[in-house]
Amino acid sequence: MRKGTSASVLPSETESPIGAQPSEKHTIYHIAERVGMSPSTVSRALSGRGYCGEKTRAKILKAAQEMNYAPDSAAKMLKMRRTKKILFAVPDICNPFYFDMINGINQVLEEHGYLMILFYTKHSLKEELKAIQNLREKVADGMIMVSFHFCEENIRAINALKAPVVLTNQYVSAGGQDRFDYVYVDTYEGIRLGTEHLVGQGMRRIAYVGGSLGEQTGHQRFCGYRDAMDGAGLPVDDRWIAESDYTERGGWLAARKWLENAERPEGIVAANDLMAIGVMKAYEEAGLRIPDDVAVVGMDNLDIASRVYPKLTSVALKQEDIGTQSAQLLMSRLLGRPVPNRGIKLLPSLVVRNSSLRAVRT
Amino acid sequence: MRKGTSASVLPSETESPIGAQPSEKHTIYHIAERVGMSPSTVSRALSGRGYCGEKTRAKILKAAQEMNYAPDSAAKMLKMRRTKKILFAVPDICNPFYFDMINGINQVLEEHGYLMILFYTKHSLKEELKAIQNLREKVADGMIMVSFHFCEENIRAINALKAPVVLTNQYVSAGGQDRFDYVYVDTYEGIRLGTEHLVGQGMRRIAYVGGSLGEQTGHQRFCGYRDAMDGAGLPVDDRWIAESDYTERGGWLAARKWLENAERPEGIVAANDLMAIGVMKAYEEAGLRIPDDVAVVGMDNLDIASRVYPKLTSVALKQEDIGTQSAQLLMSRLLGRPVPNRGIKLLPSLVVRNSSLRAVRT
DNA sequence: ATCGTTTACGTAATCGTTTACACGTTTAAG
DNA sequence: CTTAAACGTGTAAACGATTACGTAAACGAT
């Protein structure tokens, strides 16, 4: 039935009206007709699955070549129920933090012939849900998501998905009910490292500027600061804690506030590099010098950390590793390989530069 | 026929074995059965195309809601012959230059409900051809490509495509035969601006470090330098021209070479910021100061240009605008809107900062 | 009551692949 | 020489949506 109708539609060599574009639409049916075989044989020859004689395969391959055949990915997707794409949902394309992650992800995807769809969630829950909806519609086979709205609604939606999802949030699966994986860097540990670095230089008045304490990641990071202070027997003073938004301007505003005080902090720990740079800018504008007037530590270890003046001490979060690990985890799920752990924790490391060194200057 | 087979497959409420996952696969056929209508009616109700009674539409919408229906994008793609995705082929994800472009593109795509597939071509012709192949397989409806291998082979492959393509190369369509559009910033003009800025300060020995002169864009940029020098009656001396690779290290190497000479340049024009920063680093390492010992001008006006020390004078190329304009052009093609011009030229502007100002220092 | 038009819905084909199954032809084994 | 396994190929049914076309009811105008 199908063959009949299709065959009748095929433009015979002589039929095509002069001057008309040659009908470039070539399907396996066209190839089949040309070599005088059935479409299923063509499919087998091209895909390499199932039996196929050597000479026929050669003939078919040649014909496909000559006809400039390209398989239709939509048809393939529909039939195979696989898109060979994964979604990467990221809150903010502008933040350089994610570029390395993209890179890491891409390396793994390439090995498996997967493509990456970049989805920009703009720090909004609604957009994150849109990303999830895309998975429900089978736009991609899986998703890696950096979520800043790691709430009930989100988790439920993700758990309802058939497609595998890897989050980069720190999370302890509640009762093993959850169906997603996660790869994260222990930012708590990172901030603790950074704070202890300052403590270790004998500083006592250490300020902290972080993200919203309501958000999970914001809270974690703050705890790192608090525990480091506690551990050293130093007081955690509300005056020296700023709840900000991970932007340069946010850091700038926090520093301004501290600059107004009579008593100023000896060191400042920022929950990311952008805020650290904002802090440095505020001090610079006030005519003060870093690290002489205040030591600064950031986190993320962005490219710019080594380019600002003075060079910024920063906690390296291994973004690229997060990317590759996430992608590998996702691939394991997609290939049905066994996955030992739901969560993978990566450890940060401190990169010491001039912004935090009281004594030395280069 | 189709209905019969499909209907018989539907799991009736009571049939499903206890403990088994509820079959989550819901299609319009399932919805149709539930409300006692035909699939075509369901399709019409959900897509809003064609006639559909108000009460039935409501009933269908409610059923779809309850069944947690999500349309299968692959099926939609196959039937509608539209993927609602575009490919963005970019040579190098690590280069911050492209992030703003991504941003610009994304803004436009979002308005049209399109998704972006990010394709990393690694500065390789082979990968660029792979991107093109993806279009042939109808992975996306169109493509925006930043090509560094704008050669015969590429152009032919792109012209053979049915899908619209926007390039960001400067290009004069040969005889109006070409079938792609292009949006570009006049980098010739940009380098000319930068060079004239130095010339205007009375400098005479001005060096230039650019990309390969074999590449189109590398050649264009060089011409901007040459013409500015010529225009001021200054000699273009081979000793002060370096052919490099747009990386920081490349700039560093070029500067090292110049530093060995007895006679050193008064000013250096770099064809991008990364190389300019490399140049600055080399001078810094040699214990020299900028702009006192040499004035430096870059191009791209990256974020870091305003963060390095001293702040880098740079030619702003409006990356975000390239992105939005490219995406808009592509969308016009996809929607069949008339497009006045194949090419759109954007003009760069010079952002003067400290690295190039002999007199003033802030 | 009749006709024509509009509205609502169903039938079935279609998009371009893959693949279970059936059927014939070799080939190897007994 | 028979029989069974292995191989090669074709038939037709999927995958899940859209849509041209046909039919029937509802509606108003004559």
Report phi then psi at B304, rounded to 5: -65, -20
Q: Is A115 helix (H, G, I), strand (E, B) or coil?
A: strand
Nearest-angstrom CA–CA distance, B304 and B218? 22
Give me the pLDDT at residue A207, please: 97
Distance from CA of A67 to the nearest CA of B (A): 13
Give me the pLDDT at residue B23, please: 52
Residue contact B72–A137, C-beta within 8 A: yes
Taking 70 as the threshold, does the pLDDT of residue A1 lie above it? no
For residue A46, give the H/E element and its range.
Answer: helix A39-47
Residue contact A118–B102, C-beta within 8 A: yes
The residues, any chain, with a CB within 8 Å of residue B38's CB and separated by 6 or more, are B3, B32
In chain A, the N- to C-terminal Cα span, in Å, equals: 81
Q: For residue B133, give the chain A residue with the closest CA.
A: A70
- Minimum-distance CB partner of A73 among B96, B116, B137: B137
Taking 90 as the threshold, does the pLDDT of residue A351 lie above it? yes
Q: Is B101 helix (H, G, I), strand (E, B) or coil?
A: helix
DSSP A22: P
Residue contact A134–B118, C-beta within 8 A: no
Residue contact B24–A162, C-beta within 8 A: yes
Taking 80 as the threshold, does the pLDDT of residue A169 lie above it? no
Which residue numbers in chain B have pLDDT < 70? 1-24, 171-176, 359-362
The residues, any chain, with a CB within 8 Å of residue B51's CB and separated by 6 or more, are B44
A89 touches chain B (CB under 8 A): no
Give me the pLDDT at residue B18, please: 38
Q: What are the CA-CA distances from residue B85 to residues A210, B32, B144, B145 (Å)? A: 37, 29, 11, 14
Q: What are the CA-CA distances from residue B72 to residues A133, A134, A158, A180, A183 (Å)? A: 11, 10, 18, 22, 29
In this prediction, residue A92 has a pLDDT band, given cuts at 50, 70 and 90, of: confident
Cβ of B77 near strand D (under 7 Å)? The reply is no
Domains of chain A with bracketed CATH: 11-79 (1.10.260.40), 81-186+319-347 (3.40.50.2300), 187-316+350-356 (3.40.50.2300)
Q: Are B89 and A116 in contact (CB under 8 A)?
A: no
Distance from CA of B128 to the nearest CA of A (A): 14
Provide the angle, in degrees to the nearest 10, between the axes of the packed helices B2-9 and B28-35.
80
A77 touches chain B (CB under 8 A): yes
The residues, any chain, with a CB within 8 Å of residue B202's CB and separated by 6 or more, are none
Distance from CA of B131 to the nearest CA of A (A): 11
In this prediction, residue A171 has a pLDDT band, given cuts at 50, 70 and 90, of: low
- Here the tokens at position A359 are 């004594």
Q: Could you tell me the pTM of the whole model?
A: 0.86
Distance from CA of B309 to the nearest CA of A (A): 6
In this prediction, residue A10 has a pLDDT band, given cuts at 50, 70 and 90, of: very low
B117 touches chain A (CB under 8 A): yes
Among A221, A92, A133, which residue's Cα sits nearest to residue A169?
A: A221
In chain B, the N- to C-terminal Cα span, in Å, equals: 81
Q: Are A300 and A344 in contact (CB under 8 A)?
A: no
Give me the pLDDT at residue A358, please: 78
Environment class of residue A260 by beta-carbon count within 10 Å: exposed (0-12), middle (13-18) or buried (19+)?
exposed
How much is the average pLDDT of A4-19?
Answer: 37
Distance from CA of B81 to the nearest CA of A (A): 8
Among A150, A182, A187, A200, which residue's Cα sits nearest to residue A348?
A: A187
CA atoms within 13 A on the CB side of A208: 31
Give me the pLDDT at residue A151, please: 85
Q: Are B168 and B326 in contact (CB under 8 A)?
A: yes
Report phi then psi at B314, rounded to 5: -150, 150
For residue A14, give the H/E element and its range.
Answer: none
Give me the pLDDT at residue B174, please: 60
Taking 80 as the threshold, does the pLDDT of residue A61 lie above it? yes
Pairing of strands B295-300, B241-243: unpaired
DSSP A104: H
Q: From the CA atom positions of chain B, what is the Rg in Å?
A: 28
Nucleotide nearest to A38 (CA to C1'): D10
Nearest-angstrom CA–CA distance, B195 and B227? 9
For residue A114, give the H/E element and its range.
Answer: none
Taking 70 as the threshold, does the pLDDT of residue A3 lie above it? no
Q: What are the CA-CA distances from residue A215 to residues A149, A156, A169, A210, A244 (Å)? A: 7, 18, 11, 11, 12
Cβ of A301 near strand C (under 7 Å)? The reply is no
Nucleotide nearest to B47 (CA to C1'): D18
Q: Are A208 and A196 in contact (CB under 8 A)?
A: no
Residue contact B303–A307, C-beta within 8 A: no
Q: pLDDT digits over B211-256, tens only?
A: 999 888 899 999 999 999 999 999 999 999 999 999 999 999 999 9
Cβ of A29 near strand C (under 7 Å)? The reply is yes
Mean of per-residue pLDDT scores for chain B: 89
Nucleotide nearest to A138 (CA to C1'): D16
Task: Look at the block and give the residue holding tokens 């049905």.
Answer: A336
Q: For residue A136, give the chain B residue with the closest CA.
A: B70
Q: Are A187 and A299 in contact (CB under 8 A)?
A: yes
Give me the pLDDT at residue A226, please: 98
Q: pLDDT digits over B84-96, tens only?
A: 999 999 998 877 7
Q: For residue B68, give the chain A residue with the closest CA.
A: A136
Residue contact B138–A73, C-beta within 8 A: yes
- B307 to chain A: which residues are within 8 Å by CB? 277, 304, 307-308
**B54-CA/D27-C1' distance, Å:** 17
Task: Look at the block and give the residue holding tokens 């205040």.
Answer: A294
Q: pLDDT digits over A100-158, tens only?
A: 899 999 999 999 999 999 999 998 999 999 999 999 999 999 999 998 788 889 999 99
Cβ of A7 near strand C (under 7 Å)? The reply is no
Give me the pLDDT at residue A21, please: 47
Q: Which candidate in B25, B28, B65, B72 is best for mutational testing of the A interface (most A CBs within 10 A)?
A: B72
For residue B171, give the H/E element and its range.
Answer: none
Report phi then psi at A185, rounded to 5: -100, 140
- Minimum-distance CB partner of A303 among B83, B100, B304: B304
Q: Which candidate in B137, B159, B277, B361 is best for mutational testing of the A interface (most A CBs within 10 A)?
A: B137
